[in-house]
Amino acid sequence: MSIKTEIEKANGYANIVGQINTKIQDIATELDVNIETDDTPLSLLDKIETEATSEEYKPDADMVWARKILEADTNSQNPALGAYKLICLLRGESSTTTFMVPLSGAVKTSDGAYYSTHSTITHTWDDTNVKTSAVYPNMKLRWIIFYYPSQYANVNGDRHQATCASGAVYCCLDNLNVNAIAFGSDYLMEYFEYINGASFSPTNCQMLFSASYSLKALPYIDTSSAISFLNMCSNCPQLSQVGTIDMANADSCDDSFQNCANLEKAPTLINTSAIENFNNMFSGCRALKYVGDFDTSGGKTFQRTFSGCYALQRVPEIDTSNATDIRYIFQDCYSLVTIPTMDMGSLTEEPTSAFANCRSLENIKLLNVAKSVSLAQSSLLSRETVVNNIINNLVDLTGQESQTLTLSTAVKQKLTDADIAIATQKNWVIA
């Protein structure tokens, strides 16, 4: 075959690749996928796949019915109190419900009761004309509307707090701006939302929705003033969708989404450069498939950040240049194929089990490796990856205590004597 023919053939391949790349860009644009300047066709395909498989949560028919009631309500008993309100939807068989009548406010129930004295009420339901659930036909539907004297609901110290009724599965805020919502302790809340300029701006997200076992999705919450995200949504097994989280005012997000077993796509995280602790952030998120880029440049501890994320195949580049502890960071990430560059130069703790049971791992790059590290279960690593991305980046420990790089038997057999010598000459043991 002539050189000219080879060139023509190569140009033909290049044109096909160019057309494919252009098509991928077009599809990403149509789906309103965020395209970064450093995106490759493969990374865009990942984003497109995530967009295609992430269905937006929609309130069920009962919730839509309750929202329409709220929108139409004018508080005929006291129209002056009709502007700032929220509705709670209850779905079940309980004959009584307990709630607090807001200070200078009022409460109205679906069976016609009206309360205007600030006190705790245990309301007994009159089910003469009760509506049946469109979602669960064997359940009764009731609603409670809370009326507030101002746009900021109750003022509790410096907190503007709204209160839901116990047993509520849905809540909708109308023209209320609050930084605290008491959802009750029965963990039945599935979803809440806002209409007519209402908003929720918590000043502290610590344990905000922790152990909300029925919670399915979260709307956008203005978290820019929140000082902590500790356990924000931990142990929410049905949570599948979370809006953008702004961490501008916090320094820790430990356990924030731990054990959210149904979460497939991590929320978009912004303003995270000041966060120091990412421990257990997504640990136990067994269905998690996609994590977008977020700034970890200020991160110091990453213990178990992604541990137990069985379905996760790729992660964004995690800046660990200031990290002191990455123990168990990717432990039991069985499907993880690629781990971008990780700088281990600041570690004070040995990275125990950081990559334990990463059985699908093919690509990894470690910099400034000065402490023993194990990739014993990662048998798919190539010789080139191990030599170029790990062995060549081992810190020279001549005159110091030796450290160990543990590889699977299959990977170790791929190394030449010369490859191993690069490590041993730096006082490293290849095991």
Task: Give the residue, 284 or 167, on which the prediction is more confident.
Answer: 284
Domain boundaries of the chain, sorted by first residue: 3-53, 58-200, 201-368
Q: pLDDT-based confidence at 52, cuts 50/70/90?
A: very low
Q: What is the pLDDT of residues 255-265, one digit of tens each?
A: 999 999 999 99
Centroid of chain to Cα 41: 25
d(CA 86, CA 148): 9
pLDDT at 184: 65
Bigger pLDDT: 349 or 32? Answer: 349
pLDDT at 185: 65
- Position 50 scores a pLDDT of 54
pLDDT tens for each residue of 146-160: 999 999 887 766 667
CATH assignment of 201-368?
3.80.10
User: DSSP secondary-structure letter at 394?
Assistant: B
Q: What average pLDDT score do residues 13-35 get?
A: 59
Predicted local distance difference test score (pLDDT) of residue 49: 54
Residue 313 has pLDDT above 50, yes or no: yes
Task: Measure the CA–CA gap between 402 and 371, rounded to whole angstroms.
Answer: 9
Window from 24-28, 351-355, 409-413 with minimum mean pLDDT: 24-28
User: What is the per-residue pLDDT for 291?
Assistant: 94
First to last CA, the chain: 48
d(CA 262, CA 239) in angstroms, rounded, equals 6
* Percent with pLDDT over 70 in the chain: 86
- Full-model pTM: 0.83
219 by Cβ neighbours in 10 Å (0-12 / 13-18 / 19+) ranks as middle
Q: Give residue 131's pLDDT.
A: 95
Residue type, 114: Y
pLDDT score at 66 = 97
Amino acid at 254: D
Please give the average per-residue pLDDT across 47-61, as a whole number.
Answer: 68
Three-class SS of 261-320: CCCCECCCEECCCCCCECCCCCCCCCCCCECCCCCCCCCCECCCCCCCCCCCCECCCCCC
Residue 280 tokens read as: 């257990």
Mean pLDDT of 109-130: 95
Q: Is the pLDDT of residue 12 over 50?
A: yes
Q: Look up residue 169 and give its two tokens.
A: 């599965």
DSSP string computed for 7-68: HHHHHHHHHHHHHHHHHHHHHHHHTTPPPPTT--HHHHHHHHHHHHH-PPP---HHHHHHHH
Place of tokens 């016609």: 112
**What pLDDT is attached to residue 154?**
74
